[in-house]
Amino acid sequence: MSGFDADARSIWSGRAAAYAETFAAVCADPVGDLLDAAAAGPGVRLLDVGTGSGTVAAAAYAKGARVTAVDAEPGMVRIAAGAVPRAAVAALPALPFADGAFDAVTANFVLDHVGWPRRALVELARVTRPGGRVAVTVWSVPAARGQSLLPRATEAAGVERPAHRPVLPPETDFPRSEPGLVDLLTAAGLADPCCRTISWQHRTSAQRWWSGAAAGVGFNGHLVATQPPAVRAEIRRQFDRLSAEFATPDGGLALPHAALLARGTAR
């Protein structure tokens, strides 16, 4: 496990319930497209890796797929177990399954949180039968304006990225673009890779969006939650100011988001 992996798991530890109540909803928006890319359907043996609160797994199960869901965070697995019959703790880049055990594998915003993205994809391909699909999403870079609301509020409050925060070294990172993700799938040995950008408006309330950050969900939330009270208050003030750009007539927010959706075929 790399330093990046260890840091990510530390940030997510104990955050399952808060994630399920807040940011899980925005990660759920691409689920239909992801399952279409994986060719999920009745009888398909599908593995959902990094399942989080089980949104993808539950949607695949509703389609009639034979779903197994895994996540590195035990709290996430406990929540996902309420949605699908098979949920277990397991983490990339070493999954406890035989070669070709599944017809399809999904990983929704998982490659954003692993230290070795290519190794992770190699492992996803290994557990997929030849001819089966691997389908993944990652956040686009640069981020859409709605997606970057919290980071912009934090920056406007004068908070800098911690110097000790691990980042992916150039030799393991990849461009968060359509060609960059296609190249990563190709390097992992997947055939016929393709990628497209999907965009949507995530509908939420300012309080709900802020509550995820206040609870320390994800890197941006962790950064907010670990600030002194006065700094957190200034971040909230900036958040309220910036969120006015996305206000809807009913008093909610419509936050533009964009992600890369890619698939490849296991050999």
pTM: 0.95
- Strands (DSSP E) contained in 6-163 are 45-49, 66-71, 86-89, 102-108, 128-139
What does each of the 267 residues of the chain score in pLDDT, given as a tens digit?
788 899 999 999 999 999 999 999 999 999 999 999 999 999 999 999 999 999 999 999 999 999 999 999 999 999 999 999 999 999 999 999 999 999 999 999 999 999 999 999 999 999 999 999 999 999 999 999 999 999 999 999 999 987 667 788 888 999 999 999 999 999 999 999 999 999 999 999 999 999 999 999 999 999 999 999 999 999 999 999 999 999 999 999 999 999 999 999 999
> What domains can you pick out in the chain, each with its CATH number?
3-143+167-200+258-265 (3.40.50.150)
Whether 137 and 50 have beta carbons less than 8 Å apart is answered as no
Supply the pLDDT for residue 2.
Answer: 82
Q: Give the contacts of 174 (CB within 8 A, at least 6 positions apart).
A: 117, 118, 180, 181, 183, 184
Predicted local confidence at residue 227, as pLDDT: 96
Q: What is the pLDDT of residue 77?
A: 98
Which two structure tokens, joined as six digits, stand for 87?
A: 């949920």
pLDDT number for residue 170: 86
Element (H, E) at 202: strand 191-204
Structure tokens at 47: 């593995």
Q: Look-up: residue for tokens 């319930």? A: 17
d(CA 48, CA 85): 13
Would you state the pLDDT for residue 164? Answer: 67
Q: Order of strands across the sheet with 102-108?
A: 86-89, 66-71, 45-49, 102-108, 128-139, 253-265, 191-204
